[in-house]
Amino acid sequence: MEQTFILNAANELTEHIMYHKLALMEKEPANREALERLSAQEKTHYEFWQSLLPEAEAKKIRARWYTVWGISFLRMAFGVTFITKFLETHEKDSQKKYAAIAAAIPESHKVRFAQIIEDEKSHERALIAQLKEKRVSYIGFIVLGLADAIVEITGVHAGFLGVTGSTLIAGVAGVIVGFSAAISMGSAGYLQAKQDPGKSAILSGFITWASYFCSVILLALPYFLIRVMIPAFIVSASVGIVLVAGFTFYGAIVFDRKFWREFAETVALMLGTALATFLLGVVVGSVFHINTANF
């Protein structure tokens, strides 16, 4: 059981330092205050587990600095809201582990132990809920661009799979259609954001356009690198599924949604659209006797 206490102390010390580092990186005063309070709370948890250890063992506790610096780096890429909510998923596991060792806690420490469990269940979640981050308000526009691009452009490529054997034609068609659609989606994002005084319409439109067109390039790239149609389509569709997994996971963490349901729905929509446009392409190719030779 001593090893469990050592591990818990090391985890809490790591999280104490990590939240402090995140607070130092934060420019928003309210966010910084919430993170510092989380840091202070984790410190008291560390001190609790440390108090259950012999003095010699307590002095050996060290934070996992690779975790601290890794989380600090990820915060720059994904934002403080995603990182703290992602860490909260670990706290749910901690609650179960703590409940399993409750019998081993000395009677003199039971009250404090119960308070720690309560902190893990609700207090930390309440502090995390106080975090406000501007980038989160624009996630919807990123998802709008990514999701629409993946479904539409995968459908375009699948349609050309049924019409022609030329990967070059399929790739170019995807880029051209995608560029036009990206402008259309960017305009829609701009007009939508104009109705919300809390958002920049220009920035919203640009984010929608950029996320759409970046997806278009990634989905089209296999058709320029692989000169056989079916393998190129498989690779491109796989890229689309990875992108769907990425933005669905991000949204599931930030907005407390169910990952697998949203992921399955989007992938099913993407593949269903691809199948429908492929069949249409086969019909069009047959009716108009389009040349299926590779260029």
Domain boundaries, the chain: 2-132, 136-287
**How large is the average pLDDT for residues 134-158?**
87
Closest CA relative to residue 161, chosen from 290, 295, 277: 277
| 93: CB partners within 8 A, 6+ apart | none
Confidence of residue 124 (pLDDT cuts 50, 70, 90): low
pLDDT at 254 over 60: yes
Query: pLDDT tens-digit profile of 67-95?
Result: 999 998 988 888 888 888 888 777 666 66
Confidence check: pLDDT of 292 > 60: no
Distance CA(93)–CA(220), nearest Å, equals 41
**CATH for 2-132 (1.20.1260, 3.10.450, 2.30.30, 1.10.260):** 1.20.1260
**173-202 average pLDDT score:** 90
Phi, psi of 241, deg, nearest 5: -65, -40
- Predicted TM-score (pTM) of the model is 0.81
Rounded to an integer, the average pLDDT of 168-178 is: 93
Cα–Cα separations (whole angstroms), residue 197 to 56, 147, 186, 218, 284:
59, 25, 18, 33, 47
